[in-house]
Amino acid sequence: KNVSVSFPIQAFVMTCKPPLYMGPEYIKYFSEKTIDEELNHDTRVTWIVEFYANWSPECQSFAPVFADLSLKYNCAGLRFGKIDAGRYGEVAQRYKVSTSPLAKQLPSLVLFQSGREVMRRPMVDNKCRAVSWTFSEENIIREFNLNELFEASKKIKKGRGEDNPLPPEGSEEPEPDTPAESKKKQ
């Protein structure tokens, strides 16, 4: 009897691997309740959102690359987010990201400006299959014009217009993009 009970548990443990990457990142983790609100909260902010699934080896190997990009390019006007498409399937469907391994759409990176999708990688053909694309840091910087986006986005003051600048150093207001705040929140 122990063999039949332990087999399903072993199968579960083997298929539900913990995330491989646990290093520093400036990434906001979305849920089905927070993604739309956050993308539309401040239309001056550009978001790069990764749709991923923990079970996907491609997503697991891409995690440190996305985290590294977030450390290099995150600023008040350019933010990085992630949503677990495997866990929040209805959100993946709404954003037209297939979680089927056969579609090869995970991971998917989607660029949002003013709350609307501007581009995504991989692109999807008319049969809903991903067009082959390599998720390297160089490709993402080039395809998403990250250097130009970053330069333009650095000028944006978070939650304030030019007439109302940030408070002086040492004031009571916390820094908005600290690693503790940007860690996993759901």
Q: What is the pLDDT of residues 161-174, one digit of tens each?
A: 443 333 333 333 33
Q: What is the pLDDT of residues 122-144, one digit of tens each?
A: 998 888 788 999 999 999 999 99
The CA distance from 19 to 103, in Å, is 22
Do residues 71 and 118 lie in contact, with contact meaning Cβ atoms separated by under 8 Å? no
> What is the pTM assigned to this prediction?
0.75
Q: Is the pLDDT of residue 13 over 50?
A: no
Q: What is the pLDDT of residues 53-101, one digit of tens each?
A: 999 999 999 999 999 999 999 999 999 999 999 999 999 999 999 999 8
Structure token digits, residue 26: 């400036």
- The single-letter code of the amino acid at 97 is V
Q: Residue 13: which H helix or E strand, with range?
A: helix 2-15
Do you find a cis peptide bond into 107, omega within 30 degrees of 0? Answer: yes
Domain 24-154: CATH class, spelled out? alpha beta
- Three-state secondary-structure class, residue 185: coil
